[in-house]
């Protein structure tokens, strides 16, 4: 009875923490630390899921720092522990085989940051029958998680899924308001701009407020001549491409894509498809 009472008290405390702010980032550390008293974990991660694009995005991690560049970066669900939990609709204790596959396919810099975590437990966050996220529990000792931990993870996931969905809704609304305000300001700046350079700088400044990039370029398109003319660029230099450079669509395939392949760290040969397909390929490469 005492054990059940302690568990109920811990779940109530987790519920209080998770609802204490509409910005979950402010309460995640305290919530994860309280959760770790119920389920042994050296690190706990929370991510959101986009069912339409079959991706998930890690937002927070307690216990271990997220690798640089991985925060809020969408990753493919396919073949991951998150996918298994989501598809089955319940928490899953991840096998050594799948854990090894994820470690082996790490594409970031240096050693896979979770390589020393030998036990993984993953629970889907489900609201209205739809997966909105996943929570990962990891420990360095092998064979830590049991069916009892899996049941606890399900109760915790049920406890926090609703508040997280509300917090995400608040976040999306704030972002929408921010975007509308920025676009309205951009419209004013474009209307008052006296040159293409001023217009391009306004576009650059606006986009930089929403996401990171190493290079931005703006081109005009001449459909009749099949030409692109570079009118603005900033950031990473592309060999042979300067302000005023004219590139035919065919030149882009022969000159730009080999450089882009090198930048993306791949020697993959692109098949002979149209320009849109080639652009999508590089988007997939990041």
pLDDT in tens, 222-254: 777 777 888 899 998 888 788 888 877 665 555
Give CA torsion, residues 76, 59, 107, 234, to 10 deg. 100
What is the model's pLDDT at position 52? 76
Residue 269: pLDDT above 50? no
What is the model's pLDDT at position 172? 66
- pLDDT band, very low/low/confident/very high, at 79 (cuts 50, 70, 90): confident
- pLDDT band, very low/low/confident/very high, at 267 (cuts 50, 70, 90): very low
Question: For residue 222, what is the enclosing H or E element?
Answer: strand 215-222
* DSSP secondary structure letter of residue 51: T
Residue 274: pLDDT above 80? no
- pLDDT band, very low/low/confident/very high, at 56 (cuts 50, 70, 90): confident
What is the model's pLDDT at position 151? 93
Q: What is the mean pLDDT of the chain?
A: 79
Rounded-to-integer distance, Cα 217 and Cα 203, Å: 10
Nearest to 74 by CA among 57, 86, 59, 60: 57
What is the model's pLDDT at position 112? 72
Residues 6+ apart with CB under 8 A from 276: none
- pLDDT band, very low/low/confident/very high, at 258 (cuts 50, 70, 90): low
What is the model's pLDDT at position 271? 44
What is the model's pLDDT at position 195? 87
- pLDDT band, very low/low/confident/very high, at 1 (cuts 50, 70, 90): very low
Q: How distant, in Å, are the alpha carbons of 63, 116, 268 from that of 145?
A: 18, 16, 40
């Amino acid at each position: 009875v005492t054990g059940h009472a302690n568990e109920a008290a811990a779940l109530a405390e987790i519920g209080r923490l998770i609802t204490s702010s509409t910005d979950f980032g402010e309460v995640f550390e305290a919530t994860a630390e309280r959760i770790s008293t119920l389920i042994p974990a050296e690190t706990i991660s929370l991510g959101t899921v986009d069912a339409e694009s079959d991706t998930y995005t890690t937002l927070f991690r307690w216990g271990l720092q997220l690798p640089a560049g991985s925060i809020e970066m969408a990753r493919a669900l396919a073949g991951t522990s998150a996918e298994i939990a989501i598809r089955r609709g319940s928490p899953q204790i991840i096998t050594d085989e799948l854990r090894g596959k994820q470690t082996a396919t790490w594409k970031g810099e240096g050693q896979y940051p979770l390589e020393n975590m030998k036990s993984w437990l993953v629970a889907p966050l489900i609201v209205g029958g739809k997966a909105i996220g996943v929570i990962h529990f990891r420990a360095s000792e092998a064979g830590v998680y049991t069916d009892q931990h899996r049941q606890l993870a399900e109760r915790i996931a049920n406890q926090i899924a609703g508040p997280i969905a509300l917090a995400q809704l608040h976040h999306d609304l704030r972002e929408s308001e921010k975007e509308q305000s920025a676009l309205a300001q951009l419209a004013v700046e474009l209307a008052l701009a006296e040159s293409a350079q001023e217009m391009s700088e306004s576009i650059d400044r606006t986009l930089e407020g929403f996401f990171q990039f190493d290079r931005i370029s703006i081109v005009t398109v001449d459909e009749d001549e099949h030409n692109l003319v570079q009118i603005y660029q900033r950031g990473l230099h592309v060999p042979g491409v300067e302000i005023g450079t004219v590139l035919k669509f065919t030149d882009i395939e022969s000159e730009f894509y080999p450089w882009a392949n090198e930048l993306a760290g791949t020697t993959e040969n692109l098949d002979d498809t149209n320009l849109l397909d080639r652009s999508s390929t590089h988007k997939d490469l990041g």
